[in-house]
Amino acid sequence: MKIAPKQIHPYILAGLVPAIFFLLFYFYPLTGIFIKSFFLKGNLNLDFLEQVFSSTRLPKIIWFTFWQAGISTLLTLVCALPCALVMSRYEFKGKKIIRILASIPFVLPAVVVAAAFQASFGQESFFSLLHIQNPLVLIFLAHVFYNFSVMLRIITGFWSSLQGRITEAAVTLGANPFQVFFTITLPLLKPAIYAASTLVFIFCFSSFGIILILGGPGYSTIEAEIYRQAAHLFNLPLASFLSLIQIGFTFALMWVYTSFTRRAARFLPGSKRANLKKPTCWWEKMLVAGVTSFILLLCVAPLLALIVRSLTHKGQLSLIFYEALFKNRADSIFYIPPVHAIKYSLIFAGTALIIALVTGICAALFIRFSDKMIHNRLSSFFDPIFMLPLSTSAVTLGFGIIITLDKPPLNLRTSIFLIPITHALVGFPFVVRAILPALRSIPENLGDAASMLGASPLQIFKCIDLPLISKALVAGGIFAFTISLGEFGATIFTARPDTPTIPVAIYRFLGQPGALNYGQAMAISSILMVVTALGFIAIENFRKENSEGF
């Protein structure tokens, strides 16, 4: 009697899809950076280290990268902490709208953020009385604007859970609000504050578009210097060496971040989210009004300034900049209309959406199956592995792809598919993070019952899992689409001259003299801002109510 060989579960085979995707387009390019750094024609070559240690510029760049990220994080924390207090404690009219408006800046492309601050504080700006000429001040303001929602949502989500039995018991025992905050709330809140601060530091440390546009050549970070050495000076060994520094430090920071999130989850009370109170006395109403006004001023005013600047020509309301997007005023045969950048961005985003959804679904199914059937250690290993693109510099990733995928059978350097593949890799972690919690929330007995009735794993997925995670799929797909529309760091390496994307077109306009070029940059930035904002609003409608985390 022959024993039928044991079949491999389809969800394990599904795990091969993201594994192969990562090996080809993530680990292989990063390994290529290492080889380019230390090997020349197969031999170890450390000649470039002499240039590193003899340079007086590189230590300044590395030091500036660290301290600007630290100050930006501190300023963001100072702005977000009082707002988190109000958002986690009070229920008031228009709170959901305020939360959405506060979150929109984070999903905007960095080039749009830079353009918005140029429109807000530059010459002939929206806030003409606050004309700021110091690029460093603009960088700090843009970083606070960009990362405020990250800090606010993480701290608010954790703080809301503390407004329950623990604080109520302290009040019952006679503690005043200050004693409750400093002896109970703050110690429990520290892991969430540390986790949020670490994540914001990572984003500021690897900031590229904001530094490149607002800082200029006088304020360069490691990220911007990688681009300068690779794209302008063609110094690949030095660019690769800086990429390794960037990779090592961001990986270390991501490990710190995950450790803080685990600590925060361990100290999170098990009670349900407390009922929020309505502001009653005058000082509570003033506090809510002040925080609401601050959020609107910080998060909405620069975006309004961008739109106003795109609609203003010589002090009058005009659509000339939007009309110019469709015209070739110089009659150049090499001219590529900006509207083509919109077309290519939509094509690339649609392709990246499909790739990210397919690989993301396979990764989430594999992790969920590992949770239940194999061993929790396997899922705890692959889960952070699949999150690695989130902590990897987009510039480093694009640089690695362009220097490694240039030989058969992966000669994709001139392929039009290189951009959507890169965008899908950047958006992949967001798709997994959207789908995986939805899969884990499905009761196991549903699948067990269907299996006992003879349903195959594919039938269980099609008839049970897929309908229950449909909203998460839509949210993850929108995330992947909007991230692709605004991706700039990797695209500036992988985009061909004849297939620019919207962020690349914005950067080109901002780098050219003339009021018309600047106005077109404002116009196309406004279009991209509206599209990404609508995408995020759609995502919010598919998220769970009162969901605060990213």
- Mean pLDDT value of segment 11-32: 87
Q: Residue 77: which of 193, 240, 199 has the closest Cα? A: 193
Which helix (H) or strand (E) segment is 239 a member of?
Answer: helix 236-267
Residues 6 or more apart from 369 whose CB is under 8 A from it?
9, 11, 12, 15
At 380, the amino acid letter reads S
User: Would you say 167 and 184 are in contact if contact means Cβ atoms under 8 Å apart?
Assistant: yes
Maximal C-alpha separation, the chain? 90
pLDDT of residue 333: 44
- Mean pLDDT value of segment 148-169: 76
Please provide residue 157's backbone torsions phi and psi, each rounded to the nearest 5 degrees. -60, -40
E strand intervals along 264-419: 312-313, 316-317, 406-407, 410-411
Beta bridge partners of 40: 43
Check whether 170 has a pLDDT greater than 70. no
pLDDT digits (tens, 9 = 90+) for 215-261: 877 788 888 888 888 777 777 778 878 888 887 888 788 777 777 77
pLDDT digits (tens, 9 = 90+) for 172-188: 666 666 666 667 777 77
Distances (CA, A) of 479 to 19, 169, 426, 433: 21, 41, 11, 10
Check whether 273 has a pLDDT greater than 70. no
pLDDT of residue 34: 77
Q: Is the peptide bond before 269 cis (omega within 30 degrees of 0)?
A: no
> Residue 166 — very low, low, confident or very high, per pLDDT cuts 50/70/90?
low
* 3-class secondary-structure state, position 308: helix
The lowest-confidence range among 52-66, 155-169, 192-206, 429-443 is 155-169
Check whether 69 has a pLDDT greater than 80. yes
From the CA atom positions of the chain, what is the Rg in Å?
A: 25
pLDDT of residue 103: 80
The mean pLDDT value of the chain amounts to 79
Q: For the chain, list the domains and their CATH numbers.
A: 58-310 (1.10.3720.10)
* 3-class secondary-structure state, position 400: helix
How far, in Å, CA of 21 to CA of 422, rounded? 11
The label of the residue with tokens 């899908």 reads: 424
Check whether 46 has a pLDDT greater than 70. yes
pLDDT digits (tens, 9 = 90+) for 317-355: 888 888 888 776 555 544 567 778 888 888 999 999 999
pLDDT of residue 342: 84
The vertex-511 CA angle with 493 and 341, nearest 5°, equals 55
Burial grade of 357 (CB within 10 A; 0-12, 13-18, 19 or more): buried
pLDDT of residue 271: 45
Burial grade of 74 (CB within 10 A; 0-12, 13-18, 19 or more): middle
pLDDT digits (tens, 9 = 90+) for 464-519: 888 888 888 888 888 888 888 888 888 888 888 778 888 888 888 877 777 888 88
